[in-house]
Amino acid sequence: MNWQRVLLVTMAILIVSAPSWAQRGGGGGNSWYVGEEPDHKLDFIVFGGYVWSSSIDVFIPAPVNAWGNVDFKSSGFYGFEADINLRGGTQLMLLWQRQDTKLEGKSGGVTTDLGDAFVEYWHVGAVHGVLRDKLMPYTSLSLGATRSAVEGGDDSWKFSVMFGLGAKYYINERIGLRAAARLPFTFLNGGVGVSIGSGGVSPAAGGTGMWAFDLSLGLIIAI
């Protein structure tokens, strides 16, 4: 079993079992919280994980010169998040996330490396959960921009949304851990194709958009 599968299994167990942990932890006498809300103002989270991307159908030019599909190669990612406490178990989310990867073209069973690439998310959204002693299972939704580029090409900015499910566990008043699973969806413009020229490789696609799925673990610093 490789480390990506280990991460997948571990995250699934943590997230699925989070509600039962919260139920057992509720009403504990060692809580430093006021009611069901933490008494700090901000969760600053440093996180990393692994992301799987969907593919899009395009015409791939030379050296392939055939219809196929392109996608950003599955790889690790990292990022920062600030969750600002509001009221009623809701937090305002400010998110930046980056994946350094490659763009790959696949046609006729052959995979072609189209160049180094990166994908970034710049998002604002909300986290909502119920805190039980030290554990807070939550859901999240955010909106913003996806910034991506392939080596030698121009940056592309697209509108995107991100759905999430996870759990935060506060070890003490200032430190915690966060496990999360998220589904980013990036809306793409009309037209399909991949152009290769003096400016590098520039992917474009039609249809509704491109999905991704990511799992991450993070360190929470409560401020």
Q: Which domains does the chain have, with CATH numbers?
A: 3-26+49-222 (2.40.160.20)
Give, as one character, the DSSP assignment of residue 132. Answer: B
The reported pLDDT for the residue numbered 31 is: 44
Q: What is the mean pLDDT of residues 136-146?
A: 95
Rounded Cα distance, 165 and 19, in Å: 12
Rounded Cα distance, 86 and 41, in Å: 8
The reported pLDDT for the residue numbered 176 is: 95
The reported pLDDT for the residue numbered 189 is: 63
pLDDT value at 105 more than 70: yes
- As a whole number of angstroms, the longest Cα–Cα distance in the chain is 67
The reported pLDDT for the residue numbered 220 is: 97
DSSP-based three-state secondary structure for 119:
strand
Could you count the other beta carbons within 10 Å of the beta carbon of residue 62? 6
pLDDT value at 151 more than 60: yes
Global confidence as pTM: 0.74
Q: Which residue in 18, 223, 7 sits closest to 133, CA to CA?
A: 18
| Tens-place pLDDT, residues 87-102 | 888 999 999 999 999 9
What rounded mean pLDDT belongs to the chain? 79
Q: Above pLDDT 90, what percent of the chain?
A: 48
| Tens-place pLDDT, residues 24-68 | 444 444 444 444 566 778 999 999 999 999 877 776 666 666 677
pLDDT value at 196 more than 80: no
Could you count the other beta carbons within 10 Å of the beta carbon of residue 41? 9
Query: What size, in residues, is the chain?
Result: 223
pLDDT value at 128 more than 90: yes
The reported pLDDT for the residue numbered 64 is: 61
Q: Are 158 and 186 in contact (CB under 8 A)?
A: yes
| Tens-place pLDDT, residues 62-86 | 666 667 788 899 999 999 999 999 8
Rounded Cα distance, 134 and 132, in Å: 6
| Tens-place pLDDT, residues 168-185 | 999 998 999 999 999 999
The reported pLDDT for the residue numbered 197 is: 41
Name every residue whose Cβ is closer than 8 Å to that of residue 155 and which is 6 or more positions away in sequence: 147, 148, 149
Q: Are 23 and 190 in contact (CB under 8 A)?
A: no
* Backbone φ and ψ of 3, nearest 5°: -70, -25
